[in-house]
Amino acid sequence: MSTPAHASTKPYIIGFVLSLLLTTEAYILTTSHSFATGTIIIIVLVLAIVQLLVQLFFFLHLDRMAKTPWNILMFVFMAFTVSLVIFASLWIMKNLDYGHTHPAEQTSQYLKNNEDL
């Protein structure tokens, strides 16, 4: 009797090992300071994209053909939601930063000047 493809633990083990290797490589790269900052950022971004692909294929099984349209739709919805949360968080932090870096008089004057907007 054969076991279904989803019952196999081999893809999960491969994905786990790849995730550990990618995470360890990013950590070692950032703590060793062996490259320029710009180069480290680019390499870490590439490692993050590879990590994303490993997660999608080995854990979320996005490569299964039978349910691919639904998987892609759910992935797009997830990407939109995460992007929205990130954008809103950055917007809130920017506004909080403005409030903390400008004296109260300047903030009051700014609010008075932009009251009619």
pLDDT recorded at residue 15: 94
Residue given tokens 């809103």 in the structure block: 88
pLDDT digits (tens, 9 = 90+) for 6-35: 568 998 999 999 999 999 999 999 999 888
Angle at 114 between CA 109 and CA 116, to 5 degrees: 130
pLDDT recorded at residue 88: 95
pLDDT recorded at residue 67: 66
Helices vs strands, H then E, count in the chain: 4, 0
Residue given tokens 């390499």 in the structure block: 43
Listed in order, strand segments (DSSP E) in the chain are: none
pLDDT recorded at residue 75: 80
pLDDT recorded at residue 1: 45
Q: How confident is the model at residue 117 (pLDDT cuts 50, 70, 90)?
A: low
pLDDT digits (tens, 9 = 90+) for 51-62: 988 998 888 777
The answer to whether the CB of 45 falls within 8 A of the CB of 37 is: no
With b meaning 16 or more CB within 10 Å and e meaning fewer, what string describes 60-90? eebeeeeeeeebeeeeeeeeeeeeeeeeeee
pLDDT digits (tens, 9 = 90+) for 62-101: 766 666 677 778 888 988 999 999 999 999 988 887 666 7
